[in-house]
Amino acid sequence: MVALGVAVLLAAALVYTSFSASTEAKQPSQLLGAAPGTSADLTGRVVQGSIEQEGEGLRFRVADRDGGGESIPVTYSGTVPDPFRGGREIVLTGEVENGVFVGERDTLVTKCPSKFTTNDS
């Protein structure tokens, strides 16, 4: 009985906090007109040739995953995973400020390239 009670409590806490602690995943096209202060997990593809060093951080643009549409400018500082470069899919937590997506330090995740599948360029 005690165990069951604890389990129910834990489950309730998990459900409750996960919805409040999570951040929504958005593509650049969904963020372009977003109000300042909107926080999100930005997912999309890094625009080829857009990566520039800026002080200790980076500045680049991210477009929707299918490559179409407008891209959003992004600033980010912190660790850069090895696979990060133009054309790669990334996920970055942060918020929109003045039309620029400001990434939180050390939250950049780069999806592994697919030298793993047969039909990839």
Partner 1 sequence: MTASLGGVALALAFLAALFAVVAALAARKGDRRWVLASRRAVYATCALLTLCVALIEIAFANDDFSFSIVQQHSSIQTPAFYKLAAMWSSQEGSLLLWAWVLSIASSLALYATRDRLREIVPYATAVMAGVASFFTGLMLFAGGVNPFSTLSPVPADGVGLNPLLQHPSMMIHPPMLYSGYVAFTIPFAFAIGALVTRRLDASWIRATRRFALIAWALLGFGLLLGARWSYTELGWGGYWAWDPVENAALMPWLIGTAFLHSIMVQEKRSMLKVWNACLIVATFALALLGTFLVRSGVLQSIHAFGDSTVGPYILGLIAVVLIGSTALIVSRLDDLRSQKRIDSLASREAVFVVNNLLLVGLCATVFWGTFFPLIAELFTGERASLAAPWFDRYTTPLAIGLVLFTGVGPLLAWRRVSWASARRVFLVPGAMAVALAVLLVLFTDAAAEQWAFALFVFAAFALVGLGQEFWRGAAARRSLRGGSLPAALVGIVTRNRRRYGGYVVHVGIVILLIGVAASSSFQTNRDVRLAPGERATVDGRTVTYERPTVAVDEQKFTLGAVVRVGQDGKSFVLRPSRRFLRPTGTSGGTISSFFDGEATTEVGLQAGLGSDFWIAMRPDVTAVLGQAQAADEGFRACVRGAPGTPPQCRAVSQLMRAAAADPALRPSAAAQIQGLQEATAARIAKTYLEDGTPATFRVIVDPLVTWMWIGGLIALAGALIAIWPARRPRRAPIADNELEALKEAKYREIRDAELDHAAGKLSDEDYALLDAELRKEAVEILDSANGKPQKVVQS
Q: Which is nearer to partner 1, 97 or 112 (CB)?
A: 112
Helix (H, G, I), strand (E, B) or coil at 69: coil
Pair 23, 39: CB distance under 8 Å? yes
Whole-number Å distance between alpha carbons of 58 and 78: 9
Taking the complex as a whole, the smallest distance from the CB of residue 68 to partner 1 amounts, in Å, to 19
Tell me which of 36, 67, 83, 99 binds partner 1, using CB under 8 A: 83
Is 12 an interacting residue with respect to partner 1 (CB under 8 A)?
A: no
Pair 80, 92: CB distance under 8 Å? no
Q: Which is nearer to partner 1, 39 or 100 (CB)?
A: 39
Tell me which of 8, 10, 12, 97 binds partner 1, using CB under 8 A: 10
